[in-house]
Amino acid sequence: MVDKPRGWTSHDVVDAARRWLGTRRVGHLGTLDPLATGVLPLAIRDATKLVPFLEGGSKVYVGAIRLGEETDTLDADGAVLHRHEGSLPDEATVRDALAGFRGEIEQVPPMFSAVKHAGVPLHRIAREGREVERASKRVRIDRLELLRYEPPRIEIEVECSAGTYVRTLAADVGAKLGCGAHLACLRRTRSEPFASAQAAPAEQLQQESERGGVEGRLIPAVDVLGLPVLRLGRDDTRRVLHGAEIAASGPPLRALATGSRVAALEPGGELLAVLEMRPGRRLRPLRVLRSVAGPV
């Protein structure tokens, strides 16, 4: 788990982790903009196959919004497009505006983002000075609190669904207030199920890598998935490795409904696969972490 420094892209962190751990098989769980800092979980080696099962968790951020200035990137890294000349809204008005964004809302992805239009990332189109129409998407804001009101700067904490753009939220708050706004700074404190206390700065991980100790920071994938655990026998292990269904039996599985998922361990205790309960009490492999490579 990396505490991403400001100025690094999420891909910069992945490249660094490849050097720290000596493997190309590294992926991240949830992009952070270069402006942002904080929790960036990484999946290493076989765990990269589990990213689809882990990246949908809720996120928590603390940050600051600068009222009265709009930028082309919607954050402090962009060029100022417009400055508000009038007075800024008072604290009560700001609180009322924030309350209107709680719950399910529609967001239009920013032009400076990795979302693709006709196969081309929007940020490339934006850097050419062009703007294209983007479809809105529904996101969820579970909590949006005003922590400090010191105009033109306000500090907020937001808990939201994966895929939420906090800089879009900042710009939309500014539009609702009628003064414009951009995201001044942002820190992710939680990316479910990971919290900031588990994250280490990049410099520290580099030092631990040089001493040969960074591998000790890896968290077993089965501990992260949060799924019921099933230890397989040799025959069922062989079937799962070949992509076949197995019968669901035993106390851990009795209460599981169709569609539920299970973390399957091979006889030695290593995570082998994620299985899904099918009709007829059958378990179907959704993701197998290793291929058939000899006797099992």
pLDDT in tens, 258-274: 999 999 999 999 999 99
> Of all residues in the chain, what percent carry a pLDDT higher than 70?
97
Answer whether 0.85 is exceeded by the pTM.
yes
Can you give the pLDDT at residue 293?
41
Helix (H) or strand (E) run with residue 227 in it: none
For 2-56+194-219, which CATH superfamily applies? Pseudouridine synthase (3.30.2350.10)
Q: Is the pLDDT of residue 294 over 50?
A: no
Contact 261, 284 (CB under 8 A): no
Can you give the pLDDT at residue 119?
85
CATH of domain 59-191: 3.30.2350.10
Distance CA 199, CA 29 (A): 13
Mean pLDDT (the chain) is 93
Domain ranges in the chain are: 2-56+194-219, 59-191, 222-288
Give start and end residues of each alpha helix (H) in the chain: 10-21, 51-54, 91-99, 122-127, 166-177, 202-211, 221-225, 234-241
May I ask the CATH class of domain 222-288?
Answer: mainly beta
Quick check: do 2-56+194-219 and 59-191 share a fold? yes
Distance CA 236, CA 247 (A): 9
Contact 73, 31 (CB under 8 A): no
Q: Which of 3, 15, 33, 77 is catalytic?
A: 33
Q: 178-197, pLDDT tens digit by residue?
A: 999 999 999 999 999 999 99
* Nearest CA among 87, 49, 51, 48 for reference residue 67: 87
Q: Give the mean model confidence (pLDDT) for residues 100-120.
A: 89
Is 90 an active-site residue?
no
Q: Is the pLDDT of residue 295 over 60?
A: no
More confident residue, 293 or 238: 238
